[in-house]
Structure 1
Amino acid sequence: MIEVSHLVKRHGSRAVVHDVTFTAHPGRVTGLLGPNGAGKSSTLRILLGLDRATSGTALIGGRPYRSLDRPLLEVGAMLDGPGANRGRTARAHLTWVAQSNAIAARRVDEVLELTGLREAARTRIGRFSLGMGQRLGIAAALLGDPDVLVLDEPTNGLDPDGIRWTRRLLRSLADAGKTVLVSSHLMGEMEGIADDVVVIARAGVLASGTAEAVTGDHATLEEAFFALTDGQAAYRASGCDGTAP
């Protein structure tokens, strides 16, 4: 389980994350939704130990990420694409990532197959399309077969087939009991896949709860999101909590 509690991150006098609180549960896909610059990536960077919070906590299984001995076996993550050396092949990149956490070499072949990159295994990453790079980042996140997945904008650059594949993968991971936290600024892409959503804007949480509860009387989650971010403070959906920074 992921537990983020009263998280605050300031750059000088500016709050990039303001009192963000939510929980992502096993067996469910949780969507962290908001426009670019809302604080989604900053929240995930703190969760993954890449940045320090000004105050508050972000825990995975009750522990901070930095305390995990072999983190890839517990948490798989993708931030800012694959983060790979463009001169390496896909196989070489995944191999060294696996070795860093003592993951068996056979797992590299398994994730290449799972993400549709088997035939591109010996292709240098500099020749990858944006969508292939996203698949490589997801492959690296899956190497340790972790119980927690944290993915930042995983469908960025994917074509419609790739988006559908990603949705099916996330659903299958959650159905297998894993905790799946996905950030996105595209509401339509999360419609029908997210069990729970956290709507974040202006650095703070505007609403959180089940996707159905946050959608409320609106026709779509996207419409509910625009109602929230247009400043309609009176909006409340049953089962949601909303706080404005």
Structure 2
Amino acid sequence: MITIDRVSKTKSRTLILHDVTFEARPGRVTGFLGPNGAGKTSTLRILLGLDRPQSGTALICGRPYGKLDRPLTTVGALLDGSGAHRARTARAHLRWVAASNGLPDSRADEVLEVVGLTGDARKRAGRFSLGMSRRLGLATALLGDPEVLVLDEPVNGLDPVGIRWMRTFLRDSAAQGRTVLLSSHLMGELAEIADDVIVIDKGRIVIQGRLADVTGDHHTLEDAFFALTAAEADRPW
């Protein structure tokens, strides 16, 4: 389980997060929604030990990320890009990351097969398309067969076939008992796969709950989102 409890953060006297509290539970896909600058990435970075809050706690399976033994075996994360050096091949990158957590080299080829990159194992990461980089990032997240997945815009750069594959993968992951937390701007896509939804705006949680409860009387999750955040749908940025 992921537990965020009253996390607050400011930067240069600007409020980034204020008393952010929510849970993402095993066996469910939890969608994390918010306008640009709402605090989604800041929350995920704190959860993954990449940043520190002024107050509050962010726990994965009851422990801060920094206190996890062999963290890849507990949580797999996909944030910006694949994380691979442009000169490394996909297989070399995965083997290096596996070794850092005491995992066997064989896991590299296993996860490459899972994400459909077996034929590109010897290709350098710098030659990958955006969609291929996302798949390589996901492969990295899966190396330790973790019980928790934290994914930021996982379908970014994927073609329709890739998006459909990702949707199935995420649903299957939850069905296997994993905790899946993902942020996405694609509300129609998120509505297809999320069990629970958390909406954040201006650093504060606006609403959270089951998808049907968050959508409420609105026709779609998108309608609910704009009503809740008072965002302008035709805003040019």
Relative to the length of structure 1, the TM-score reads: 0.92
Give me the whole-angstrom Cα distance separating, in 1, the residues matched to 2:62 and 2:23. Answer: 11
- Distance in 2 between residues matched to 1:186 and 1:203, nearest whole Å: 20
Aligned positions of 1:14-163 closer than 5 A? 14-163=14-163
Q: Deviations over 1:22-76 (max 9, x none)?
A: 0000000001111221110100000000000011110011110000120000010
Superposition map of 1:216-231 within 5 A: 216-230=216-230
Contact 1:4 1:22 in 2 (8 A): yes
* Deviation (angstroms), 1:159: 1.1
Partner Cα separation in structure 1 for residue 130 and residue 144 of structure 2? 24
Q: Percent of counterpart pairs with the same letter? A: 65
Q: Which runs of 4+ in 1 moved over 2 A?
A: none
Mapped contact 1:111–1:142 kept (Cα < 8 A): yes
The offset of 1:12, in angstroms, is 2.0
CA displacement, residues 65-121 of structure 1 (integer Å, 9 cap, x when unaligned): 000120000010111121110011000000100000011221111110000100000
> Which position in structure 2 is the counterpart of 1:236?
none
Q: d(CA) in 2 for partners of 1:99 and 1:13?
A: 41
What does residue 212 of structure 1 align with?
212
SS in 1 for 2:62: coil
CA distance in structure 2 between the aligned counterparts of 1:69 and 1:175, rounded to whole angstroms: 25
Query: Equivalent residue for 1:181?
Result: 181
1:164, 1:205 → 2: CA distance? 29
The 2-side partners of 1:186 and 1:156 are apart by 9
* Structure 1 spans left out of the alignment, 5+ residues: 232-245
Name stretches of at least 5 consecutive residues in structure 2 with no aligned partner.
232-237
Matched with 2:235 is none
1:186 Cα deviation (Å)? 2.0
